[in-house]
Each structure stands twice: as structure tokens, then as C-alpha cells.
A and B are shown apart, each in its own frame.
Chain A
Amino acid sequence: MEGGRAVLALHLGVLGLLGALQFLLPPFHHGMVARIMVLAAYAIGYNLLLGYTGLMSLGHATFFAAGMYGAGLTIQHWGFGVAAGFLVGVVGALAAAFVVGVVTLRTVGPAFLIVTLMLAQAFYLATLYFNEITLGEQGFALAGLNVTLGDWRLDLARPAVKYNAALAVLAVCLLGSLALVRSPLGRALVALRENEERTQLLGYNTYRLRLVAVLASGLTSGLAGVTYTLLFGYVGSTFAGVLYSIYPLLWTLLGGAGTTLGPLIGTLLMTYAVDVASGITDAYLIVVGAVLVAAVLWAPAGVVGGIRTRWARWLP
């Protein structure tokens, strides 16, 4: 495909840049960027559904939190190791995505969004209801997580390990989404986004396509949730709440829905904006509201989307 190499080089370049940044950043920003990379993986998962399939969900926190609780609870209560917890988290998120997908895809239009919100709220309330196990809003910390392979021991609390693990997960998600978007499956999803009837006419089972998209999106979001828990050692209900369903929507829209690099850019900009605002006022979430309104009014395509329409038509 034309420009295929340039696109791959661009993505690898962005990842390389993030890799190089770790040697330049002061400690505070070092930790911040590590966190942003994990959250960007979450946004990439969200974008698979919103940007490339055209389904707007308000319940992605369920997938992120399913990964988080799957890993966190088994490690905390059953003494699972990091690898086993990781696996449980990822499978948990996939299972959640399957259930949510099967229920919500029966609906059409705005009902999809509302039902994803409802199910996510039920999940959030469940984390509060079973607070003897989950410790609810307060949550619990996981300390001393490390990975051992033979004599080789990796302490996940070390900043350098955190940063590079986050980068690795981001790389998997970013390149994975790029590969998916350029595969025949990705093309079919875009076709479905643009025109469902024609896609059906071409012989695609649109229900199954959407379900696959929800699964891929949920899996990626769950992977981010698991990674967040393992690297930052915290599990809590906040991450299952409605704000964490709105964040990936905001990040994706700001960066550009339906662009592979948009979610990363959006997460980067927004996380810093929220951080700056929280230093000024307690009501820092007003930034979230203002950016959402401003985005729909003046920049519906987002940052990367705008760059694509103006200068670089070849951006995926």
C-alpha cells in the first residue's frame, strides 16, 4: 500500500521518541508520562469502537476496571503472582466485553450509549456493594509486585521498569490497532461505520462485526487496566465510575477519533491540562467540560484528524 512504510515509520518514530524521553524527563514528568502511556492504551481501545466502528460507548470503565479488579483481587486475596493476575485480568475484561456486547448490540442508536452507561453503573455499584472484598471507593494498594524469571527479577515499583513496561504495552496496543485498522477486518468495520446497509449487502454479518469490535476494544481497555494496576499498585472503585468512561471518549475526541495516533495525543494533552487545572482550582473537572464543548463546536475532527484533513491525507 502506498505510504505504508512511512506510516509504520511514523508510529515507530513516535514510540522511539517516547523511549528516548525517559532519559531526559525530570522525575515528576517521568512518572506522569508513564501513566499517560497506560491511559493512552486505554484510549486506543476506546477508539477502536468509536473511531473505527462508529459506536459510542459510555461504559468503557467496566472493561478497564474488570482488568484492574481481575488482576488486583486475585493477587490480593488469593496470592496470585503477577503473571497469573495479568492473565485473570485480561480474561476478565474479555468476558465483560462479551457480556456487554451481547446485551448492548441488540439496541440501536442512542440506546446503545445509554445501556453501556447503565451496565457500567451496575458494575460500579457492585464494586461498592461488595466493599468487604473491594474496599469500595477507598480501594487497596498492592505492594512489592515483581516479576521473576529464573534468577532475573524485575521490581515493578522501580520508575525505569514502570516506564518501559508502560511503553511496551502502549507499543503493543498502538501497533496492534494500526495492524487491525489496515487489515480486511478493520476495513469492514470502517465500512460498517460509514454505511450499515451497504455493508450488509456486501455479505457481512454486521452484528458479528460489531461484536468483534466490542471484544477487541474491551480487550485493549482491559489490558490497560491490568497494566495500570500492576504498575501503579492500586485498585479502587473510582476507575469503574462514570468519569473513567468519559475520559477515553474525551481523549479520543480531542486527539481525533478514527486516527491511530489521536488517542495518544489526546491523552497527553488532556492529562496535562487536568493536572495544571487541579493546581489552580478544586473544580478542575471544568476543563473536561469546556474541552468537550469546545471540541464539538470548533474541532470535531480532533488534533490529528485536523492535521489529516489539512496536510497529511495519508495518516491512518
Chain B
Amino acid sequence: MDFGPHLFLALLEGLVGAFVLALTALGLSLVFGVMRIVNVAHGAFFMLGAVVTWWVSTATGSFLAALLAAPVVVGAVAILADRLVLRRIGYEPESTIVATIGLLYILEQVVLMTYGPYARPVAAPIYFRIDFPWFGYSGYKLVVAAVAGLLLVLAWLVLSRTTLGLYLRATQQDREMAQTFAVPVERVYTLAFGVGGGLTALAGALIVPVQQAHYLMGLDALLMSFVVVILGGLGSLRGTVVAALVVGLSDGVISVLFSPTLAKIVATLLVALVLAVRGRGLFGEEAA
């Protein structure tokens, strides 16, 4: 392939990756913004979403059912974790980090015990090829990008137009003030954690037909989400989405043209560089 078409393919891969990454990272960003905690188990939620998708679509033969089940199951697991652990330690930042690391290992190892150490595929629900003059491209990947994009818009609508969104934003801006105005902050926390898990589970579910489900797939998702959330500025959803597009595109291009490992190295070093110049990320608020 010539360089031009090769670059086009790389950009296309990058674009799909960028949308999925934005959806993956959005949950992490939401949880950090509203609850001020770092959820290290975020990648495990992504992985769990993928694994649930494999299970449900294998059992029922319906990918759509799986796509609905994944966020519900993972959201429920997240809510349970919030109630049983995070609430009881009062969301203290360091304890929460330790607890979510623990949660990450518990989820991962339970999946290893039940699902096994395999990487298993799910057939794409929609199969068509788009034939460019130089190569054919999986239509499903473009559908994934479109669905992820739609979900992002939906999330934005919920946040900006609904009472729930108002509660979330109020809690994020000033927890105590929100409580004074009768926002049920505790329930908002639980909900944010559940929704955060559910969103990333959706991303995991969408990606299974392209990537296969494996119990260790969460680490990459977690690290790339961290890259994006830090780069975009902790707590800024807009920043997260913009950063996801930048990182996703560059990751896709470097992966296709050079090597995936190099792409990840570049992304992580990019974060270090940005932070060295601008401590709070691109769109971050001033540290309180």
C-alpha cells in the first residue's frame, strides 16, 4: 500500500479507537469529577462489560441483549462496591485508591476462575464491508464509532438537560452547597459510580466483536483512560472527550504505522510532558 492510503487507514483506525476511548474514559472522568476519587477498578469494569457481553450473546444469541445486559450488570457491581466498600471508608482518597486496586484484582481473578484465561470473540451483529479504492474496511467498526458518538451526545444531554444531570453537576461543583439545597449527595455518589461503570462497560461491550474478551484486557483500558483524563484535566468532561480524540487518533496512527507498543509509550510520555508544562492538564480546573 502507498503511504497515502496507509495513512488513511491509520486515521480511520485512530478515529474508531478515539470514540471508544472517549466513551471508556468518560465514566472515569465522571466519577472523578463528582466523587473526587480515582477509580483504579475502572479498567476491570471495562473488561467485565466485555466478558458479560460474550456470555449473554453466547447464551441468547443476541448481541443487542448483551449490549443492554453489560452496562446493567456492571453498573450493579459498581453500586454494590460503592455501598459495601467505598461508602464505608468515607471516600477517603487514598483508601479508595487501595480499595479499588483490591476490587480490580477481585474482579479480574473471579473472571479468570469462571470465564477462564481465554480470549474469546463474539460475532459482529452487523457485518458489511466498505470498499475503498485501496482496501476494504469493516463496517462494524464504523458503526461502533457512531454508536459511541451517539452515547457521548446522550451523556451530554443527560448531564446538561435533566434533573439528574443537575444533581451531578451541583455535587461536582460544591458538595456541601448541593447538600444544603437538598441534593441527595450520597445517592448521587452511588449513582455516579454505577453510571461510570455502566458507561465503560458499554465501551467494553461494543469492542468485543473487534477485540475479543480476555480477563486482562482492562489494564490497557485503564491506562489509556488515565492518559485521557489527566491530559484533559481531572474532572473536566469536555477535556476528557477532546483529549480522547487527540490520543485516540495519535494512538491509531502510531500503532498502524509503527507499533502498538510504541504508541502506548508515546501516549504515556505525552502525559508526563503535558503535566510538566501545565500541572492541571489541558482543561483542568485550578486545584482547590
Partner-B contacts on A (CB < 8 A)? 56, 103, 106-111, 113-115, 117-119, 121-122, 125-126, 128-129, 242, 246, 249, 253, 281-286, 288-297, 300
The contact of A296 among B95, B105, B226, by CB within 8 Å, is: B95
**Residues of A close to B269: CB separation below 8 A:** 122
List, sorted by A's number, 13 A–B pairs whose CB atoms are closer than 8 Å: A111-B279, A118-B268, A122-B264, A128-B261, A246-B101, A249-B98, A282-B112, A289-B101, A293-B102, A295-B102, A296-B89, A296-B95, A300-B95
Contact mask for chain B residues 76-114; partner A; CB cutoff 8 A; 1 contact, 0 none: 000000000100110001110111011111111110110
B155 at interface by CB-CB < 8 Å: no
**Residues of A close to B112: CB separation below 8 A:** 282-283
A293-B103 in contact given A115-B275, A125-B261 (Cβ < 8 Å): yes
Number of A-B contacts (CB under 8 A): 122
User: Is B272 in contact with A119, judged by CB distance below 8 angstroms?
Assistant: yes
User: Is B265 in contact with A289, judged by CB distance below 8 angstroms?
Assistant: no
Partner-A contacts on B (CB < 8 A)? 32, 37-38, 85, 88-89, 93-95, 97-99, 101-110, 112-113, 117, 219, 223, 226-227, 230, 234, 259, 261-262, 264-265, 268-269, 271-272, 275-276, 279, 287
The residue among B95, B108, B272, B279 with the most chain A CB atoms within 10 A of its own CB is: B272
Distance in Å: Cβ of B75 to nearest Cβ of chain A: 20
User: Is B99 in contact with A293, judged by CB distance below 8 angstroms?
Assistant: yes
- Top 10 closest pairs, chain A to chain B, by CB: A289-B105, A292-B102, A286-B109, A289-B106, A293-B102, A283-B109, A122-B268, A118-B268, A283-B112, A296-B95
Whole-angstrom CA separation of A114 from B281 in the bound complex: 13
The residue among B103, B108, B234, B275 with the most chain A CB atoms within 10 A of its own CB is: B275
Whole-angstrom CA separation of A68 from B95 in the bound complex: 30
**Residues of B close to A109: CB separation below 8 A:** 93, 287
Distance in Å: Cβ of A129 to nearest Cβ of chain B: 5
User: Is A293 in contact with B85, judged by CB distance below 8 angstroms?
Assistant: yes
User: Is B88 in contact with A56, judged by CB distance below 8 angstroms?
Assistant: no
Whole-angstrom CA separation of A193 from B265 in the bound complex: 32
**Residues of B close to A106: CB separation below 8 A:** 275-276, 279
Whole-angstrom CA separation of A300 from B85 in the bound complex: 13
User: Is B226 in contact with A118, judged by CB distance below 8 angstroms?
Assistant: yes
Majority SS at the chain A contact face: helix
User: Is B272 in contact with A118, judged by CB distance below 8 angstroms?
Assistant: yes
Distance in Å: Cβ of B80 to nearest Cβ of chain A: 12
User: Is A297 in contact with B38, judged by CB distance below 8 angstroms?
Assistant: no
Distance in Å: Cβ of A50 to nearest Cβ of chain B: 9
A110-B272 in contact given A281-B113, A285-B109 (Cβ < 8 Å): no
**Residues of B close to A110: CB separation below 8 A:** 32, 37-38, 93, 97, 234
**Residues of A close to B287: CB separation below 8 A:** 108-109
Whole-angstrom CA separation of A242 from B219 in the bound complex: 9
The contact of A111 among B89, B227, B275, by CB within 8 Å, is: B275
User: Is B268 in contact with A114, judged by CB distance below 8 angstroms?
Assistant: no
Whole-angstrom CA separation of A282 from B117 in the bound complex: 10
The contact of A295 among B98, B219, B276, by CB within 8 Å, is: B98
Distance in Å: Cβ of A277 to nearest Cβ of chain B: 10
User: Is A103 in contact with B272, judged by CB distance below 8 angstroms?
Assistant: yes
Distance in Å: Cβ of B277 to nearest Cβ of chain A: 9
The contact of A129 among B37, B88, B226, B265, by CB within 8 Å, is: B265
The residue among B97, B105, B110, B269 with the most chain A CB atoms within 10 A of its own CB is: B105
